[in-house]
Amino acid sequence: MFFCNLEHKIILENVLGRYLLQINRVKNNALIPGTWFGEPEAGIIKNQLYVRDDTPVHSALHESCHYICMDAARRADLDSDAAGGYDEENAVCYLQILLADYLPGMGKQAMMNDMDDWGYTFRLGSAQSWFEEDAEDAQQWLLNYNIIDNNNIPTWKLRQ
């Protein structure tokens, strides 16, 4: 599993900064502001992402993708609970897999493995099976909101 140590925090800043997200490092053993699942999972408040050295990268990307996929009104009030519906949750999972390719040393496969290890559940039993065989609705959702293009490449735009 990949964790948000200093090296990964810098990489996350380079990728997620394109969405105007700011990465905040929390001291080890300190409470993580804005965490929905509790420590060591990432926390998010407005455009501030909070991570510790033991925060899984998949958690940081998941919370960030919620921020990217929600509308502006929800982003303005975001504090811990990203809410959103079933379609948006699927889009978030799909986008976090895509964004993993922009993290050197991680990539889609490692992200999907980490998602499975953490306990994400998908109808087909694994993140990889879902992504490759059953995620057309999530992909279409992201296309509809101009978050990815027709080649599955992020547009680096927030949902409007």
pLDDT at residue 64, as a whole number: 97
pLDDT at residue 9, as a whole number: 83
DSSP β-bridge partners for residue 79: 45
pTM: 0.95
DSSP string, 16-38: HGGGT-EEEEPPTTS--TTBSS-
Q: What percent of the chain has pLDDT over 70?
A: 100
Cα distance between residue 49 and residue 29, in whole Å:
17
Q: Check residues 122 and 51 and name the one with the higher pLDDT.
A: 51
* 160 — pLDDT class (breaks 50, 70, 90): very high
Under DSSP, the state recorded for 3 is B
Distance, C-alpha 78 to centroid of its chain:
15
Residue 119 reports pLDDT greater than 90: no
**12: its two tokens:** 């996350």
Residue 79 reports pLDDT greater than 90: yes
pLDDT at residue 120, as a whole number: 81
Query: Which long-range contacts (C-beta less than 8 Å, at least 24 apart) are formed by 116-120?
Result: 117/1, 118/1, 118/56, 118/58, 118/59, 120/93
Mean pLDDT, rounded, of the chain: 94
pLDDT at residue 60, as a whole number: 96
Cα distance between residue 70 and residue 89, in whole Å:
10
Cα distance between residue 76 and residue 54, in whole Å:
28
Q: Name the burial class of residue 150, with classes exposed (0-12), middle (13-18) and buried (19+) by CB atoms within 10 angstroms of its CB.
A: exposed
Q: Domain segments of the chain: what residues? A: 6-77, 87-144
**105: its two tokens:** 């040393």
* 151 — pLDDT class (breaks 50, 70, 90): very high
- Report pLDDT digits (tens) over 48-77: 999 999 999 999 999 999 999 999 999 999
Q: How many CB atoms within 10 Å of residue 156? A: 12
**Residue 129: enclosing H or E segment and its boundaries?**
helix 127-133
Residue 109 reports pLDDT greater than 90: yes
pLDDT at residue 123, as a whole number: 78
